[in-house]
Each structure stands twice: as C-alpha cells, then as structure tokens.
C-alpha cells in the first residue's frame, strides 16, 4: 500500500486509466471542432460526440436529443433551475427544494428569491430522525397552484442519503409540476433511469465517476412534452441552443467511457464498497469511544450510498483531526467544498450542533480503495483521535 490514502471520492475521483486511454486520441487525431460541418476533421469529432451522447443517454434511459452537455453538475443545476424560472410567468414562480441540497442548487434558488421568486426550502430533520430523508408528503403539502419546479437530489454528497425520487416524481407528475433531480452522486453508482422515474430534468457529471473534470450533462425531457428552458450561455447555438460553446470532445468521450465502466461493474462494485465501508465503521466504533453515525443506517442499501460514511467524533475538531491524520485524505464537517469553509449546512440540517458538525468526517470509498487502505485509515483515525483527546484533557 502506498500512502497517502485517498478516501474523498465524493469530492472527486481519480480518472480510470481506461478512460484516459479512450480520451487520448481526441487530443491528437480527433481534434476537430464538432461544429465544423465543412470538413472531415469536424465530422470525425462530431461522430465521436454523437456516439458518446448515445451511450450516456442509453445508460440513463434517455434519448440522444435529451442530453445537453455542460461543464459539470454545477452548470447543469444552474441551467435547470434558472432556466425553468426564467421561462415561467411571473405568477408561476414558486420553486421547492430541501435543506440538504448542494450549494449549486441552493445558491441559484437564493438568487432567484432576491429577484422576486417564491422559494420554499424544506427541512429534513423530524424529531430524532437524522437520516436526512425527505418525506414525499412534505413535498406534496408544499405544492401550490403557482409551483413550477421541485428540485430534490437523488443521493447526498455528505451523508449518502438516497431520496425517494420515484414517489416525489409521481407527486410532481400528478400535480403538473416539473421535477429536477441532482443525480451527481447517484449516476454510475445506482441504477438511475429517467424512463422509470418521473424526472423532467437531471444533472450529473463525469468527475465523480472516474471520468475527467469539466464535463457534465443535463437531461432535459422531450418525451410527452418538451421541457422549455431559458439558456444561460449564449453564443454559437450548440446543444440545441441551450448551451453555447465548443464541445469538450475529449471530456465527452471520457464521460461516456466512465459511465459505461460504472454500469458494467456496478453489480459487484456496490457490495464491495459497502463491505469496505462497514469494515471501517465497525473498526471506528469498536476502537474509539464517542463515535456516532450521521445519515441513514448502513444496512439500508436502498437508502444510503454504498461508499459513503459520515461520522462525528465527540470532543474532537474535525479540521485538527484531518491535519493530525496526515496521510489520510477525507473531508471534514466544515468542509471546503466551496471557497468558504463553514460548518456543513447538511449536518446542521440534520439537527447537529456546531461542535458536533465540526467534529465530523466524511469518508468516500471508491473504485481504487483496498481493504489494506481501510485498515490503514482505521488505525490512523484511532491514533489521531486518541492523541487529540489526550492533548485536550491535559490542557
Ligand atoms: C450533489 C452534488 N451536486 C453538484 C455538484 C457539483 O458538481 P461539479 O463539480 O461537476 O460542478 C457536486 C460536487 O461536489 C455534488 O456532490
């Protein structure tokens, strides 16, 4: 085993060498602009994009024309939310979401609120339920005549909660409201098929699934009535006018290879990740006093992502813990997922107080992690927690 050990696979993943191999020809041979329709360099690049689009669409149960390539899930979320709001009549500008969404959903909603839209952000904590799951009935109760869009993520990036999207989709469809789903942490890890979910818009990205950074997609439903969006980037009219800009051909080819590999390997990879995750958790609770689990129980495979673990270590500062762990890469409860490291809004939304939020770590176990690395992680965390608690008690 080689240190440092990477257990931060929700933040990003190492690009799979098979994905790199698929991308390399796009830099040297297929370098044409897919928008150049007048020569064979452009045609070859367009063919590569078309094939990749078809693969990605097939994996999520969409048609080719329903995939819009973007620079990543942040852009996809912005396009979906702002795109719908800006296309709605002023009287129909009520949007609903939940407190544990990614900032790239919550911040566009906040901006829309400042511009006069009516926004409802639903809490997820109920009593001592700290799973982070939203009850579909809460969504149903919040929908009014003026509601245009509901945005609920499929799987949470901090606590792994899988939301009841099927039920939420059914409610939205019945009430004539659009549903956007941020499936960034779910695509490639769970069976996600838009033809089986009543989802109208869905965001996902390549770099969470062993593909390259800087490329993502928004699924925009066309079947049974096309969803209309206001473009957020204007220019050459690429992607049906919804997202102008020269397509990232190597990124798109890598994205398709990455999603294909996840799909092929998912059946045996998910239980392998869950077993590694359970081993880590068992070691932590057995060897360290005062460890608590955040998010859904680990034995509920349909409610929690296989590779996700979030724990609080009472009385320890997560940042100090991360520094003390040196060769182990994880995220803390005041994670710098954005430019400003502040206590995680997700853990706060579960009802954790700020001390416990700061005493939390998120582990993201992925394709390249081994049992030996999990053993290293358990020992490193135990030694660091004991050392920090010793320092605190002696001060
Ligand atoms: C749930 C979720 N949504 C959106 C994003 C943003 O994705 P990207 O980095 O592709 O913009 C992330 C990544 O951190 C995420 O975990």
What per-residue confidence (pLDDT) applies to 318?
Answer: 84
**For 314, how many CA atoms within 13 A lie in the half-sphere containing its CB?**
7
Residue 45 shares a structural domain with residue 141 = yes
Per-residue burial over 139-178, b if 16 or more Cβ lie within 10 Å, else e, is bbeebeeebbbbbbbbbbbbbbbbbbbebbbbbbbeeebb
Q: Is 153 in the pocket of ligand 1 (CB under 6 A)?
A: yes
Distance spanning both ends of the chain, measured CA to CA: 36
Residue 251 shares a structural domain with residue 286 = no
Which pair of tokens denotes residue 351?
């009802």
What per-residue confidence (pLDDT) applies to 342?
Answer: 84
Give me ligand 1 centre to Cα 73, in Å.
Answer: 5
Residue 39 shares a structural domain with residue 148 = yes
Q: Is 73 in the pocket of ligand 1 (CB under 6 A)?
A: yes
Domain that holds residue 239: 17-259
Which pair of tokens denotes residue 165?
């999207």
CATH number at residue 118: 3.40.640.10
Residue 142 shares a structural domain with residue 193 = yes
Q: Is 52 in the pocket of ligand 1 (CB under 6 A)?
A: no
What per-residue confidence (pLDDT) applies to 156?
Answer: 98
The three-state DSSP-derived secondary structure of 103-156 is HHHHHHHHHHHHCCCEEEEECCCECCECCCCCCHHHHHHHCCCCEEEEECCCEC
- Looking at 259, 291, 326, the residue that finishes a domain is 259
Pocket test for ligand 1, best of 8, 70, 80, 102 (most atoms within 8 A of CB): 102
Helix, strand or coil, per DSSP, at residue 218: strand
The CB density around residue 137, as the number of other CB atoms within 10 Å, is 10
Residue 88 shares a structural domain with residue 73 = yes
Q: Is 104 in the pocket of ligand 1 (CB under 6 A)?
A: yes
What per-residue confidence (pLDDT) applies to 335?
Answer: 55
- Looking at 236, 259, 282, the residue that finishes a domain is 259
| DSSP H or E run through 164 | none
- Looking at 259, 279, 303, the residue that finishes a domain is 259
Q: Is 250 in the pocket of ligand 1 (CB under 6 A)?
A: no
Residue 236 shares a structural domain with residue 293 = no
Give me ligand 1 centre to Cα 304, in Å.
Answer: 18
Residue 50 shares a structural domain with residue 116 = yes
Ligand 1 atom closest to Cα of residue 156: 1
Is 181 marked active-site?
no
Residue 272 shares a structural domain with residue 316 = yes
What per-residue confidence (pLDDT) applies to 129?
Answer: 83
Give me ligand 1 centre to Cα 116, in Å.
Answer: 26
What per-residue confidence (pLDDT) applies to 2?
Answer: 78
Q: Rounded to an integer, what is the distance from CA 166 to the centroid of its chain?
A: 17
Pocket test for ligand 1, best of 72, 212, 248 (most atoms within 8 A of CB): 72
Residue 386, classified by CB atoms within 10 Å of its CB into exposed (0-12), middle (13-18) or buried (19+), is middle
Question: Would you state the torsion angle of the CA atoms of residues 287, 293, 299, 300, taken in this order, to the nearest 10 degrees?
Answer: -170
Note whether 79 and 70 are within 8 A (CB): yes
- pLDDT by 10-residue block (mean), the chain, 395 residues: 92 98 96 96 98 98 98 98 93 92 98 95 87 97 97 98 98 97 98 96 98 98 93 97 98 98 97 98 97 96 97 91 92 66 92 93 97 97 93 76
Q: Is 160 in the pocket of ligand 1 (CB under 6 A)?
A: no
């Amino acid at each position: 085993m080689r240190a440092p050990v990477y257990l931060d696979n929700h933040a990003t993943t190492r690009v799979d060498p098979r994905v790199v191999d698929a991308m390399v020809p796009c830099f040297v041979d297929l370098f044409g602009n897919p928008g150049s329709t007048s020569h064979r360099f452009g045609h070859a690049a367009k063919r590569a994009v078309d094939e990749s689009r078809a693969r990605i669409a097939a994996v999520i149960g969409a048609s080719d024309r329903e995939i819009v390539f973007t620079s990543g899930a942040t852009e996809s979320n912005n396009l979906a939310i702002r795109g719908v709001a800006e296309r709605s009549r002023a009287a129909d500008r009520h949007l609903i979401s939940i407190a544990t969404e990614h900032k790239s959903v919550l911040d566009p909603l906040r901006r829309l609120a400042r511009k006069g839209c009516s926004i409802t952000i639903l809490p997820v904590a109920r009593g001592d339920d700290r799973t982070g799951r939203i009850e579909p009935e809460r969504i149903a109760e919040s929908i009014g005549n003026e509601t245009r869009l509901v945005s609920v993520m499929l799987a949470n990036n901090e606590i792994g909660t899988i939301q009841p999207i099927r039920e939420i989709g059914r409610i939205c469809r019945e009430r004539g409201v659009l549903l956007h789903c941020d499936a960034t942490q779910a695509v490639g890890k769970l069976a996600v098929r838009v033809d089986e979910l009543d989802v109208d818009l869905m965001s996902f990205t390549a770099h969470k699934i062993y593909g390259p950074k800087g490329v993502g997609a928004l699924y925009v439903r066309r079947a049974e009535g096309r969803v209309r969006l206001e473009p957020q980037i204007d220019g050459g009219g690429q992607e049906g006018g919804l997202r102008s800009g020269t397509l990232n051909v190597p990124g798109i080819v890598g994205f398709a290879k990455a999603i294909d590999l996840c799909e092929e390997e998912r059946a045996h990879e998910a239980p392998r990740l869950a077993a590694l995750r359970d081993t880590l958790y068992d070691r932590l609770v057995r060897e360290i006093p005062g460890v608590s689990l955040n998010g859904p129980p680990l034995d509920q495979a349909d409610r929690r992502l296989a590779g996700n673990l979030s724990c609080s270590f009472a009385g320890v500062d997560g940042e100090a813990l991360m520094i003390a762990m040196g060769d182990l890469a994880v995220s803390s409860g005041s994670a710098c997922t954005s430019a400003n490291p502040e206590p995680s809004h997700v853990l706060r939304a579960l009802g954790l107080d700020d001390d416990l939020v700061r005493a939390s770590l998120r582990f993201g176990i992925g394709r390249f992690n081994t049992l030996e690395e999990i053993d290293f992680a358990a020992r490193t965390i135990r030694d660091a927690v004991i050392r920090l608690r010793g320092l605190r008690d002696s001060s």
